């Protein structure tokens, strides 16, 4: 999640204030680096003095051999410089984030409203997570609890606020820790789009079928059942659709082992 | 009253009218269909599973083999999804080339549909005319990327090959040629009394049903629903060109036929404008990292293929290979309504209705 945020932040077009803050932070970082370098330089200079003293009696060696003390000093200086750099970078990032708190997406109000409706009309804990998928045309994305999914789906199709009558796509995914069914729906009249995730347990995967609500879910759910092994209670005809009826296992699962290793 | 007996009839998988290896088991009472059960999977190659072990550029040739009549649009939906995820900028010349090949592909794909549809219904010669004219487009593609059907032309960030010298002029010459041929097609078929009787009022459904079944493309627009992704959610450069979205009213095979014929003309219109505005020079590849690693997250990108909404759902974990890749194939989704349409129809209408849906089995099974 934090990776994602970082990437998003980097990609955002900078406002003038943001740029200024970045420049300032960079300047600070530069200063910090220079200070660290100067410190390291001091350390080196002092060791050189010591070396000069130590080798006064002997012939001056061509290449200076570092004493333990010297080494330690160098390592310390380098560590300090590294720490200073890291701190400067952190500060720069913090400054950038502070200067321009991420502007909420234009779809944020719609997402908030959707959550509110689902919470009041279905259940308080119906929505587990939600975010705006910015790369995907700011798509409002919600994760809905499995036990409330069917009621939510009915609401999504029939409620005045949603009217998502067109279910574009149903996909399943095996996330190794859990299974997930993903619905992309849109309202033909308002063109508002939503993406719904429904998580399910990996050992006994099961998600309520929405075929009674959207006919188009029928074959899509059969395909997911066939390839991922997710059961859809309430489906009128849950059979394999792609693989043959006597196939063993569900090929799109991450732990799937083909029966015939030659294939 | 004639006593009839119920008969279980197996159509396909190797039957020319099923356009590939599609099988349908029909329960007949006399000549009337009581029940129809489609059986699929004969062409299932596990593209989605294979993709999980390939990097994004390696997946592009696999998309060619899904809807092999319209490989260019399949190429586009994958690269479009990845580009959207990485927020890449595509050079204008590359985007123009993509748009031109996609519209040429739509013409070629509709020609295949037109020819084979009439062949199904019983007219032999239109098939020959359609394939004669489609050959010109295939030659153009061959010149552009060295393949006739499986092009592997697009890349994340642009296209693989620039247009050779004189190629754009050849496309320009093709447009008036095709327009003239369209008139010929209409004279030959579109007014034919026998043909019209075969398709009028056959396989009818209303807008509500179409939306409920998630139909897309001409199958949805024949009911009057104004839904074309090129217009609704413009991708590529479609917002720069003028074109109309033909709509039907009755939702029967007749409307689907005329919508596709009109789409052919509209594609030529788009092509004409695109050729006019085609940039003289420029890059054909954008700035793309050497290894394509979309950021962690997910995306669902969709475009309007000749058959309807083709979509690509990618779950990325920031690796060079997709964690999960799923294609929403319009043929697969559109085919779902078939058992419902067939009940109560005669055997002859089975062929008419199946042909009218316009499926490619490579895409149904994927």
Cα of B278 vs its chain's centroid, Å: 24
Cα–Cα distance for residue pair B138/B141, rounded to 1 Å = 5
Q: What is the pLDDT of residue A261?
A: 65
Q: What is the mean pLDDT of chain B?
A: 91
Task: Specify burial of residue B312 (Cβ count, 10 A radius: 0-12, 13-18, 19+).
Answer: buried
A7 in contact with B, Cβ within 8 Å: yes
B332 in contact with A, Cβ within 8 Å: yes
What single DSSP character describes residue B12? -
Is residue B258 very low, low, confident or very high in pLDDT (cuts 50, 70, 90)?
very high
Q: B324: cis peptide before it, omega within 30°?
A: no
Of the candidates A215, A240, A242, which has its C-beta nearest B213's C-beta? A215
Q: Which residues of A touch B227 (CB under 8 A)?
A: 188
Name the residue among B24, B229, B202 with its Cα closest to residue B221.
B229
Euclidean distance between the first and final Cα of chain A, in Å?
37
Window from A52-56, A186-190, A230-234 with minimum mean pLDDT? A52-56
Q: What is the pLDDT of residue A263?
A: 56
Q: Which residues of B252-262 are buried (b: 16+ CB within 10 A; e: fewer)?
A: bbbbbbbbbbb
A188 in contact with B, Cβ within 8 Å: yes
pLDDT digits (tens, 9 = 90+) for B96-129: 999 999 999 999 999 999 999 999 888 899 999 9
Cα–Cα distance for residue pair B18/B2, rounded to 1 Å = 31
Is residue A73 very low, low, confident or very high in pLDDT (cuts 50, 70, 90)?
confident
Cα of A139 vs its chain's centroid, Å: 15
| CA-angle at B331, arms to B330 and B337, nearest 5° | 100
CA dist B287 → B57, B58, B86, B156, B291 (Å)? 15, 19, 11, 10, 12
Pick B15 or B131 by higher pLDDT: B131
Q: What is the mean pLDDT of chain A?
A: 79
- CATH 3.30.460.80 fits domain A108-228: yes
| pLDDT value at B135 more than 50 | yes
Name the residue among B100, B161, B165 with its Cα closest to residue B285.
B161
Contact B78, B151 (CB under 8 A): no
pLDDT digits (tens, 9 = 90+) for B136-147: 999 999 999 999
Q: How many helices (H) and strands (E) does chain A have?
A: 6, 5
Contact B267, B106 (CB under 8 A): yes
Q: Which residues of B touch A133 (CB under 8 A)?
A: 297-299
| CA-angle at B123, arms to B117 and B128, nearest 5° | 80
DSSP strands (E only) in B113-180: 154-155, 158-159
Cα of B366 vs its chain's centroid, Å: 14
Q: DSSP labels for A170-224?
A: EEEEE-SS-EEEEEEEE-TTT--EEEEEEEE-SSS-B----TTT-TTHHHHHHHH
| Contact check, Cβ <8 Å, B214/A135 | no
pLDDT digits (tens, 9 = 90+) for A120-151: 888 888 888 899 888 888 999 999 999 999 99
pLDDT digits (tens, 9 = 90+) for B290-326: 899 999 999 999 999 999 999 999 999 999 999 999 9
Instruction: For chain A, give every domain's residue range.
Output: 2-99, 108-228
Contact B320, B56 (CB under 8 A): yes
If one counts every other C-beta atom within 10 angstroms of the C-beta of residue A10, the result is 10
Cα–Cα distance for residue pair B268/B111, rounded to 1 Å = 13
A252 in contact with B, Cβ within 8 Å: yes
Contacts of residue B180, Cβ cutoff 8 Å, sequence gap at least 6: none
Contacts of residue B110, Cβ cutoff 8 Å, sequence gap at least 6: B260, B261, B263, B264, B267, B306
Can you read off the two tokens belonging to residue B107?
């013409």
CA distance B171 to chain A (A): 33
pLDDT mean over B273-281: 92
Q: What is the pLDDT of residue B17?
A: 73
Q: What is the pLDDT of residue A54?
A: 45
| pLDDT value at B162 more than 50 | yes
A76 in contact with B, Cβ within 8 Å: no
| Contact check, Cβ <8 Å, B49/A11 | no
B213 in contact with A, Cβ within 8 Å: yes
Cα–Cα distance for residue pair B127/B71, rounded to 1 Å = 21
Contacts of residue B354, Cβ cutoff 8 Å, sequence gap at least 6: B17, B18, B19, B24, B120, B338
Window from A14-23, A36-45, B313-322 with minimum mean pLDDT? A36-45
Can you read off the two tokens belonging to residue B202?
């056959």
State phi, psi for B170 to the nearest 5 degrees. Answer: -65, -40
pLDDT digits (tens, 9 = 90+) for A201-221: 999 999 999 999 999 999 999
Is residue A22 very low, low, confident or very high in pLDDT (cuts 50, 70, 90)?
low
Instruction: Return the SS3 of A139.
Output: strand
pLDDT mean over B321-343: 93
Q: What is the pLDDT of residue A92?
A: 67
B234 in contact with A, Cβ within 8 Å: no
ipTM rounded to 2 decimals: 0.91
Is residue B60 very low, low, confident or very high in pLDDT (cuts 50, 70, 90)?
very high
What dotted CATH number matches B44-334? 1.10.645.10
CA dist B76 → A135, B62, B192, B339 (Å)? 17, 12, 37, 31
Q: What is the pLDDT of residue A103?
A: 76
Cα–Cα distance for residue pair A226/A244, rounded to 1 Å = 9
pLDDT digits (tens, 9 = 90+) for B201-247: 899 999 999 999 999 999 999 999 999 999 999 999 999 999 999 99
| pLDDT value at A42 more than 70 | no
Q: What is the pLDDT of residue A123?
A: 85
Q: What is the pLDDT of residue A241?
A: 92
| Contact check, Cβ <8 Å, A169/B313 | yes
Contact B131, B139 (CB under 8 A): no
Contact B292, B57 (CB under 8 A): yes
| pLDDT value at B266 more than 80 | yes
Report the percentage of chain B scoring pLDDT > 70. 99
Pick B210 or A11 by higher pLDDT: B210
Is residue A7 very low, low, confident or very high in pLDDT (cuts 50, 70, 90)?
very low
CA distance A247 to chain B (A): 12
**Longest alpha-carbon distance in chain A:** 98
| Contact check, Cβ <8 Å, A171/B309 | no
């Amino acid at each position: 999640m934090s990776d994602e945020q970082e990437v998003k932040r980097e990609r955002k077009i900078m406002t003038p204030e943001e740029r200024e803050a970045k420049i300032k932070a960079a300047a600070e970082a530069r200063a910090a680096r220079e200070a660290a370098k100067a410190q390291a330089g001091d350390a080196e200079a002092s060791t050189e003095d010591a070396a000069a003293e130590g080798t006064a009696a002997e012939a001056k060696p061509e290449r200076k051999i570092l004493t333990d003390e010297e080494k330690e000093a160098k390592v310390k200086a380098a560590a300090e410089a590294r720490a200073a750099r890291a701190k400067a970078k952190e500060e720069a990032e913090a400054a950038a984030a502070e200067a321009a708190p991420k502007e909420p997406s234009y779809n944020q109000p719609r997402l908030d409203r959707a959550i509110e409706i689902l919470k009041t009309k279905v259940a308080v804990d119906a929505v587990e997570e939600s975010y705006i998928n910015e790369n995907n045309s700011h798509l409002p994305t919600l994760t809905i609890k499995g036990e409330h999914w069917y009621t939510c789906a009915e609401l999504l199709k029939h409620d005045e606020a949603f009217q998502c009558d067109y279910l574009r796509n149903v996909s399943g995914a095996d996330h190794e820790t859990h299974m997930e069914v993903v619905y992309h729906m849109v309202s033909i009249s308002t063109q508002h789009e939503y993406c719904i995730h429904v998580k399910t347990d990996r050992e006994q995967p099961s998600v309520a079928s929405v075929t009674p609500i959207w006919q188009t879910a029928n074959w899509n759910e059969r395909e997911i059942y066939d390839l991922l092994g997710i059961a859809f209670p309430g489906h009128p005809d849950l059979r394999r659709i792609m693989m043959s009826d006597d196939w063993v296992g569900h090929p799109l699962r991450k732990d799937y082992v083909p029966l015939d290793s030659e294939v | 009253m004639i006593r009839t007996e119920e008969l279980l009839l197996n159509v396909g998988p190797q039957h020319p009218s099923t356009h590939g290896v599609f099988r349908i088991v029909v329960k007949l009472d006399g000549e009337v269909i009581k029940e129809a059960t489609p059986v699929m999977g004969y062409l299932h190659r596990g593209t989605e599973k294979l993709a999980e072990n390939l990097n994004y550029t390696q997946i592009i040739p696999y998309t060619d083999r899904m809807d092999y009549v319209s490989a260019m649009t399949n190429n586009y939906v994958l690269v479009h999804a990845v580009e959207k995820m990485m927020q890449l900028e595509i050079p204008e010349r590359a985007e123009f080339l993509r748009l031109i090949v996609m519209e040429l592909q739509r013409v070629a794909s509709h020609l295949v549909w037109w020819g084979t549809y009439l062949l199904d219904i019983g007219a032999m010669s239109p098939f020959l005319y359609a394939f004669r004219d489609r050959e010109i487009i295939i030659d153009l593609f061959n010149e552009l990327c060295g393949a006739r059907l499986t092009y592997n032309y697009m890349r994340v960030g642009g296209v693989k090959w620039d247009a050779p010298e004189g190629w754009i002029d050849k496309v320009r010459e093709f447009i008036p040629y095709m327009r003239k041929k369209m008139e010929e097609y209409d004279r030959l078929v579109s007014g034919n009394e026998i043909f019209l009787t075969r398709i009028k009022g056959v396989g009818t459904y209303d807008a509500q049903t179409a939306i409920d079944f998630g139909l897309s493309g001409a199958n949805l627009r024949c009911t009057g629903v104004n839904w074309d992704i090129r217009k609704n959610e413009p991708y590529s450069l479609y917002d720069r060109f003028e074109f109309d979205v033909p709509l039907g009213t009755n939702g029967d095979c007749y409307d689907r036929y005329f919508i596709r014929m009109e789409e052919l003309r509209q594609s030529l219109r788009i092509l004409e404008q695109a050729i006019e505005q085609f940039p003289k020079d420029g890059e054909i590849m954008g700035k793309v990292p050497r290894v394509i690693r979309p950021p962690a997250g997910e995306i669902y990108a969709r475009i309007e293929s000749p058959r309807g909404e083709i979509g690509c759902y990618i779950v990325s974990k920031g690796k060079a290979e997709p964690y999960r890749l799923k294609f929403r194939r319009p043929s697969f989704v559109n085919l779902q309504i078939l058992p419902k349409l067939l009940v109560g129809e005669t055997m002859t209408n089975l062929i008419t209705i199946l042909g009218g849906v316009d499926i490619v089995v490579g895409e149904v099974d994927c």
